[in-house]
Amino acid sequence: MKIRQSLFLVFMVLISLCVITAASATDNVTDVVEISDDADEVQAIDNIDEENVAVENDVVLEKNVEIVDEPILSMDNSDDDTSLGDSAFSFGKGNGTTFDFSNITFNFGNGTTIDLGSLLNGTTISLGNGTSFNITDLMNSNMTFGNGTSFNLTQIMNMTGNGTGSFDISAIMDMIGGKKVTFEAQDIKQTYSGPITFKVKVLESDKPVSQQTVIFTVDNTDYVGRTDENGTATISLNLAAGTHYIYTEYNNVIGKNQIEITKAGSKLTANKKTFKSKLKTKKYAITLKDNKGKAIKNAKVTLKIKGKTFTAKTNSKGKATFKITKLTKKGKYTAKIKFAGNGYYKASSASKQITLK
């Protein structure tokens, strides 16, 4: 998911620059004119009679004359370099051919200029719509657009399960006329009590997005949700205690929320018990519940008595039954029952007397 974000970001930045350039070029289109040595003889090309023959400086230009394409630039085999302009393009001999962009400046006529040398050296580039950016700053801090939106590229690249914050690509979409996607969701912080419900409302240009698929990612696992008529998507998650980050994705926009779960308490209930010593297998039951009295199922519990350890697992009602064997000598014994805890519940224990007669 992270790689897809990064590629999309770079693509959108390039698209935004292209849109600005295209808009600039459209505003500065003019009629093409033919210039002669005499300023008084300037005339628009589209007004020349196609049947006429123009004579200029003893050169006859006729209609349908075959034009031979000649290269504007060519390289010879001399030892001297050939260049065009002030170090704009430099051609060496053989494999030594180089291009020097240090003095190339693009002027789009609407106040937008880009100097390649400055761009490569990390100087701030200013665009005619109030947008400016610095290559060094772009990689290390914020990029700000003329509409007041901004984002931090480093934060986006580092947005892992341990990161913080969120990124909304709609800042770039706004620049090129795209619809702005936003999420409305709350972080969750609670004690474990079973599966939790996470809800997010998806808005596009401040309007609910209904009946659309939303992808949720938690602990590297993807879940699919779908928005209702109010733009709300809901999923159920059974998360162990700890801090989790949930990413919501719709239309290439990523939202991030934090879910913090703490372990619930547990309570082990056991009673003293008397068995006949001659009974080969003695069944001893306990119950395990959480701090709210709800049964804890599928939990492993242990019982230690006279150096022997027995294990059992709780059922749907939180009840576990131990089968005590090889204990036949009459007397009183102390049974230590323990639940070691797990990813959802804290540990608990109890000690009870077992008598054999």
Give all domains of the chain, ordered by start, each with its CATH number.
1-24+75-163 (no CATH), 179-262 (2.60.40.10), 266-356 (2.60.40.10)
To the question of pTM greater than 0.95 for the whole model, the response is no
Per-residue pLDDT of the chain (357 residues; tens, 9 = 90+): 544 444 454 455 555 555 444 444 444 444 443 444 444 444 444 444 444 444 444 444 444 445 444 444 434 444 444 444 444 444 444 555 565 656 667 666 666 666 666 666 655 666 655 666 565 665 555 565 555 556 565 555 555 444 444 445 555 555 545 579 999 999 999 999 999 999 999 999 999 999 999 999 999 999 999 999 999 999 999 999 999 999 999 999 999 999 999 999 999 999 999 999 999 999 999 999 999 999 999 999 999 999 999 999 999 999 999 999 999 999 999 999 999 999 999 999 999 999 999
Burial class (CB in 10 A: 0-12, 13-18, 19+), 303: buried
Long-range contacts of the stretch 227-232 (C-beta < 8 A, 24+)? 227/202, 230/201, 231/201, 231/202, 231/203, 231/207, 232/199, 232/200, 232/201, 232/202, 232/208
Dihedrals φ, ψ of 88, to 5°?
Answer: -70, -50
Please state, in angstroms and rounded to a whole number, the distance separating the CA atoms of residues 106 and 99: 16
